[in-house]
Structure 1
Amino acid sequence: MKRICFNLIFLIVGFSNVAKAQKEPSKTFAFLLGSWEMQTAKGKIIEQWVQNPDKTLSGKSYRINAKGDSLLTETLQIRKTGDDIFYCSTVTGQNGGKEVCFKLLPSKDRIYVFENQAHDFPQKIVYQNQGKSEMLAWIEGELNGKSRKSEFRYKRQ
């Protein structure tokens, strides 16, 4: 009986978090706003987010190599469509230049999972709010029958 109650509470909390995110996505994802940086062996990855007048969030991600040259890798958007919230990405040189969208799943502990099981890789894009100066993001899914995950540990610029 305790397990049933715990599972019921977990479901209610999870769905209420999605309801909040779906009601006010610009507030829920405000932690993304600004510029984030991750150092890699090949240079830096930068992700920048702004809020638009229509309450959607727009972002861009680019790489800066050791010489200081930058390359736009993707454009991003978080928007409400109907009753759902979507994370949409247009990746340079992939998907024929078409946008691919991932639907927000129930969330908890400031972890936001967007999923698109029909996409080749990744099937999930995840953002974890770790406070004012740090953010963890990762992509995961199956590629060629193997489970894969790549993490991105960002610091606010």
Structure 2
Amino acid sequence: MKRIYLYSLILFLASFYSNVKAQKNSSKTFSFVLGSWEMQTPKGKIVEQWIQGADKIMKGKSYRVSIKGDSILTETLQIRKTGKDVFYCSTVAHQNEGKEVCFKLISTKDRIYIFENAAHDFPQRIVYQNLGKNEMLAWIEGELNGKSRKSEFRYKRQ
């Protein structure tokens, strides 16, 4: 029984340390997103572009590009530290009255970064997974109208 308690304590502390480390140096932790990413879809592609701002805020934009090449900005993004916490903030065109919605970083394990806002209608979680230099998986998940939903975005570096 003591071993189970000890292992549980070690796992908890390791998880806590990982979250603290990510929150202390968020610009290094999330540097894998920097650059331009794209995902092909039947209607064209989705492009996500990230830069490091001088203020240590990661700034991103997401576009939909049609097969004809027309692009439309769908959202502006930020990953920023506020106090001791890190937030993923999104302003989506034609949603939330143009107001920014933020999701708090709750987990950083195995190169998977989970941001959550349980009070948001959908999604309640935004997740990024670092798959290496040229691939990144992102997904949104939560409940909508009482049903569990998840949408994945498998990006390749441009």
d(CA) in 1 for partners of 2:25, 2:105: 13
Which residue in 2 is equivalent to 1:144?
145
Q: How many angstroms does 1:5 deviate by?
A: 2.8
Q: Where does the alignment leave 5 or more consecutive residues of structure 2 unmatched? A: none
Which residue in 2 is equivalent to 1:64?
65
Q: How many angstroms does 1:22 deviate by?
A: 0.9
d(CA) in 2 for partners of 1:3, 1:90: 44
Identity within the alignment, %: 72
Which residue in 1 is equivalent to 2:51?
50
Which residue in 2 is equivalent to 1:133?
134
Q: How many angstroms does 1:13 deviate by?
A: 1.5
d(CA) in 1 for partners of 2:155, 2:34: 13
Q: Is the 8 A contact 2:107 2:115 kept in 1?
A: no
Q: How many angstroms does 1:8 deviate by?
A: 1.9
d(CA) in 2 for partners of 1:6, 1:82: 31
Q: How many angstroms does 1:105 deviate by?
A: 0.5
Q: How many angstroms does 1:106 deviate by?
A: 2.5
The aligned length equals 157
Letter in 1 for 2:41: T
d(CA) in 1 for partners of 2:127, 2:11: 19
Letter in 2 for 1:12: L
After the TM superposition, which parts of structure 1 deviate over 3 Å for at least 4 consecutive aligned residues? none
Asked if residue 105 in structure 1 is aligned to residue 102 in structure 2, the reply is no
Q: Is the 8 A contact 2:47 2:62 kept in 1?
A: yes
d(CA) in 1 for partners of 2:154, 2:4: 35
Q: How many angstroms does 1:17 deviate by?
A: 1.2
Moved more, 6-15 or 82-91: 6-15
Letter in 2 for 1:33: L
With normalisation by structure 1, the TM-score equals 0.97
Q: CA RMSD in A?
A: 0.8
d(CA) in 2 for partners of 1:11, 1:116: 22
